[in-house]
């Protein structure tokens, strides 16, 4: 009997005992290529000596000091590094211990900002269907994934949802990217007008959709048009880059590629690459100054915010990414990964779409490539792909419910930024074998 309350108590899990480079090793000595970094976390792979050394040194001098008494040099330096790298005047970094906490902090800061400036009516949050922003009640409330929300609906604060930017399924034939982006921006504007422009606090979106839809990037212009709608009505734009940020797309902040600066951005996962639990919310000077010049106090906080050891790990990770020029590798290996997937699986009758940015790559599976009909959810294709890939020594991040929380299957790849060209080839080889085992192409499309 296990006394750990596992997330899926009926499942028998392998025991992870070691990690080295891009591989994890279990207690039977089996090696797995970690092609998803867990949930897009381990961006430097495992056992990175520089990060381990930074953690040891920090623990030797100071592991933790409560942020109501002290600041620390390491948290100040990490905040300076992130603020310098962030676009626009995203200058103020609030450290937390993970993604959901970062989103909670963003929601509360958005609300408090409006209280500070006297716009106390502003209380509504608009997000997108099929989004994921975390599992704490506030983050779950704004998230748009029906399956995750369903059992907890009576506990969730009201939130409002509009369509995601999901070109593969929702862009009409003949509709240009600009027309599609405008249609979605118009939908957001209509929702703001329906709720009453004076009552809307913020629009929240993942810059590139991660877990729930599988690396879905926005079409060109989408975020610019969304930004314009938000500005028109004084609504804050919160971009959730918990999965897509910190270099995953080839840019430290994914929104740089879209030429858009949000009012608040959330990051986590790759920030410390899994060596320590840490996330952050970064706000613009306008919002920070409103708190500073208003009540002078952000009415929020947790015991472990600004944790020195977590900050030391994150600082070492960010320095490594910069000094080893890893973002160049992310772009090159990402191109290679998509190209190799297309060469190997592009004609498979059940492969509908191969997409993504940088080393953030998704493959969506279908029953019929023409109609894009989804596979029968009862087949649990995503779960079978995960276990078959594991048998083949490959860790990927598959999920069902891609389309509406129930229908659809996809696989997410988020390999470490240190991957070589040969590593990518091995990943695609093992993945293709796994796909062939679950959905043999020779038998035709699986319904």
Ligand X SMILES: Cc1ncc(COP(=O)(O)O)c(C=O)c1O
Q: Which residues bind ligand X (CB under 6 A)?
A: 39, 98-100, 103, 132-134, 206, 210-211, 240, 242-243, 268
Residues contacting 437, CB < 8 A, separation 6+: 388, 392
CB of 134 to ligand X, least distance (A): 4
Nearer Cβ to ligand X, position 133 or 357? 133
SS3 for 64? Answer: coil
Nearer Cβ to ligand X, position 94 or 439? 94
Rounded-to-integer distance, Cα 435 and Cα 447, Å:
15
Nearer Cβ to ligand X, position 211 or 419? 211
> Residue with CB nearest ligand X?
99
Rounded-to-integer distance, Cα 319 and Cα 50, Å:
10
CA distances from 100 to 132, 164, 232 (A): 10, 20, 29
Nearer Cβ to ligand X, position 252 or 291? 252
Q: Say which DSSP state 233 is in.
A: T
CB of 254 to ligand X, least distance (A): 11
CB of 212 to ligand X, least distance (A): 8
The beta-strand segments (E) located in 57-168 are 90-96, 124-128, 160-162
SS3 for 384? Answer: helix
Nearer Cβ to ligand X, position 44 or 267? 267
CB of 242 to ligand X, least distance (A): 4
Nearer Cβ to ligand X, position 133 or 382? 133
Nearest of 408, 407, 413 to residue 431 by alpha carbon: 413
Cα 403–chain centre separation? 17
Q: Are 398 and 383 in contact, with CB atoms under 8 Å apart?
A: yes
CB of 209 to ligand X, least distance (A): 8
CB of 320 to ligand X, least distance (A): 21
CB of 175 to ligand X, least distance (A): 27
Q: Are 92 and 306 in contact, with CB atoms under 8 Å apart?
A: no
CA distances from 256 to 42, 248, 430 (A): 22, 12, 33
Rounded-to-integer distance, Cα 153 and Cα 123, Å:
19
Nearer Cβ to ligand X, position 210 or 356? 210
How many residues belong to the chain? 447
CB of 444 to ligand X, least distance (A): 35
Nearer Cβ to ligand X, position 206 or 423? 206
Rounded-to-integer distance, Cα 197 and Cα 124, Å:
10
CB of 57 to ligand X, least distance (A): 26
Nearer Cβ to ligand X, position 39 or 115? 39
* φ and ψ of 357, to 5 deg: -135, 140
Nearer Cβ to ligand X, position 7 or 443? 7
Nearer Cβ to ligand X, position 45 or 277? 277
HSE-CB for 429 with a 13 A CA cutoff: 8
For every residue of 124-155, which 3-state class applies, written as one string? EEEEECCCCCCCCHHHHHHCCCHHHHHHHHHH
Residues contacting 409, CB < 8 A, separation 6+: 364, 365, 374, 375, 381, 382, 385, 398, 399, 400, 402
E strand or H helix at 410: strand 409-413
CB of 206 to ligand X, least distance (A): 5
CB of 56 to ligand X, least distance (A): 24
């Amino acid at each position: 009997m296990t006394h750990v309350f596992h997330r899926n108590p009926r499942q028998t899990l392998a025991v992870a005992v070691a990690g080295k480079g891009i591989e994890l090793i279990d207690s039977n000595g089996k090696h797995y290529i970690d092609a998803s970094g867990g949930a897009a976390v381990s961006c430097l792979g495992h056992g990175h000596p520089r990060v381990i050394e930074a953690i040891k040194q920090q623990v030797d001098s100071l592991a933790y000091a409560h942020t109501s008494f002290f600041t620390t040099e390491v948290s100040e330096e990490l905040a300076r590094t992130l603020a310098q790298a962030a676009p626009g005047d995203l200058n103020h970094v609030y450290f937390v211990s993970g993604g959901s906490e970062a989103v909670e902090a963003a929601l509360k800061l958005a609300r408090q900002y409006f209280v500070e400036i006297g716009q106390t009516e502003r209380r509504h949050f608009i997000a997108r269907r099929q989004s994921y922003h975390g599992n704490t009640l506030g983050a779950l409330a704004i998230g748009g994934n029906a399956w995750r929300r369903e059992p907890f609906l009576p506990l969730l604060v009201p939130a409002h949802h509009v369509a995601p930017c999901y070109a593969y399924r929702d862009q009409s034939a003949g509709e240009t990217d600009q027309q599609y982006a405008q249609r979605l921006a118009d939908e957001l504007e209509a929702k703001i007008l329906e709720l009453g422009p004076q009552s809307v606090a913020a629009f929240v979106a993942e810059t590139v959709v991660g877990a729930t839809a599988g690396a879905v990037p926005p079409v060109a212009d989408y975020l610019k048009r969304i930004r314009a709608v938000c500005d028109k009505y004084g609504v804050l734009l919160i971009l959730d880059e918990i999965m897509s940020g910190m270099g995953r797309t080839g840019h430290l902040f994914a929104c740089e590629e879209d030429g858009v600066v949000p009012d608040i951005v959330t990051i986590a996962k790759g920030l410390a690459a899994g060596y320590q639990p840490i996330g952050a919310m970064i706000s613009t000077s306008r919002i920070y100054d409103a708190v500073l010049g208003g009540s002078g106090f952000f009415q929020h906080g947790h015991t472990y915010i600004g944790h020195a050891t977590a900050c030391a790990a994150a600082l070492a990770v960010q320095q490594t990414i910069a000094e080893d020029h890893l973002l160049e590798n992310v772009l090159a290996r990402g191109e290679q990964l998509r190209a190799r997937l297309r060469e190997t699986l592009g004609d498979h009758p059940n492969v509908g779409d191969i997409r993504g940015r940088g080393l953030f790559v998704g493959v969506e599976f279908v029953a019929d490539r023409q109609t894009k009909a989804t596979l029968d959810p009862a087949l649990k294709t995503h779960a079978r792909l995960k276990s078959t890939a594991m048998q083949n020594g490959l860790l990927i991040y598959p999920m069902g419910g891609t389309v509406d929380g129930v229908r659809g299957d996809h696989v997410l790849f988020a390999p470490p930024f240190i991957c070589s060209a040969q590593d990518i080839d091995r990943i695609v080889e093992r993945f293709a074998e796994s796909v062939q085992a679950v959905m043999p192409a020779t038998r035709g499309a699986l319904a």
